[in-house]
């Protein structure tokens, strides 16, 4: 696990360089902050769910409620199907198939704020697999705990409208300590200015 954490951190730093470069900010725009930043590893073990269709109406058994990730990016490894992403336009959930050995990269709230909404943090959840247990390893990467993430000034000049207020990981943790994950208003909603 230690070797994996180090390798996935290197990957996340490389990916962030490419992402900020795609925004026209230059490959090293976030380099120092990300190198000094945090990495949170979350390992979840989900049991097999025998009869999710027994619910009325039939609903998948949820292992992790609806949420977005409070990070710049999240790198996910999953052993079996179970990750679902919400299509914001249709309101439908799409299963992300588990491909053996594949890593999935998700945009987090910090990157949505930094990019002024050009990159969007997907709403997602984990559902229990009816035929197999599932293991997931999520590695969340962002700036230091107390560092505030705001819209990049260069993008604000181009867009003209600031869509998000700045915030830190500490503020997010305070929010979640008073709000149950997946119920009610999301932290991302509190950051939106429009």
Separation between Cα atoms, residue 65 and residue 187, nearest integer Å: 14
SS3 assignment, position 58: coil
Which two tokens mark 117?
């909404």
Separation between Cα atoms, residue 179 and residue 67, nearest integer Å: 12
Number of H helices, E strands in the chain: 6, 8
- Return per-residue pLDDT of the chain as tens, 194 residues: 999 999 999 999 999 999 999 999 999 999 999 999 999 999 999 888 765 554 444 556 777 778 899 899 999 999 999 999 999 899 999 999 999 999 999 999 999 999 999 999 999 999 888 888 889 999 999 999 999 999 999 999 888 899 999 999 889 888 877 776 556 668 888 899 97
SS3 assignment, position 52: helix
User: pTM for the complete prediction?
Assistant: 0.88
Q: What is the pLDDT of residue 57?
A: 46
The three-state DSSP-derived secondary structure of 73-105 is EEEEEECCCCEEEECCCCCCEEECCCCCCCCEE
Separation between Cα atoms, residue 59 and residue 62, nearest integer Å: 9
Domain 38-191, second-level architecture: Sandwich (2.60)
Every domain of the chain and the residues it spans: 38-191
37 in Cβ contact with 143 (< 8 Å): yes
- Angle at CA 49, nearest 5°, toward 134 and 57? 130
Q: What is the pLDDT of residue 182?
A: 53
Q: What is the pLDDT of residue 183?
A: 62
């Amino acid at each position: 696990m230690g070797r994996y954490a180090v390798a996935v951190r290197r990957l996340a730093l490389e990916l962030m360089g490419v992402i900020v470069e795609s925004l026209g900010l230059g490959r090293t725009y976030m380099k120092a902050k990300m190198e000094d930043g945090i990495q949170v590893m979350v390992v979840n073990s989900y049991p097999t769910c025998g009869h999710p269709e027994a619910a009325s109406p039939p609903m998948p058994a949820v292992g992790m409620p609806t949420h977005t990730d409070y990070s710049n990016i999240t790198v996910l490894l999953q052993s079996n199907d179970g990750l679902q992403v919400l299509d914001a336009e249709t309101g439908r959930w799409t299963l992300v198939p588990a491909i053996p050995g594949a890593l999935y990269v998700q945009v987090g709230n910090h990157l949505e704020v930094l990019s002024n909404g050009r990159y969007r943090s997907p709403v997602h959840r984990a559902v229990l697999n009816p035929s197999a247990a599932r293991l997931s390893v999520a590695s969340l990467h962002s700036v230091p705990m107390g560092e505030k993430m705001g819209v990049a000034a260069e993008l604000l000049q181009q867009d003209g409208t600031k869509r998000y207020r700045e915030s830190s990981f500490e503020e997010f943790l305070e929010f979640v300590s008073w709000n149950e994950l997946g119920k009610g208003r999301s932290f991302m909603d509190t950051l939106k200015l429009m």
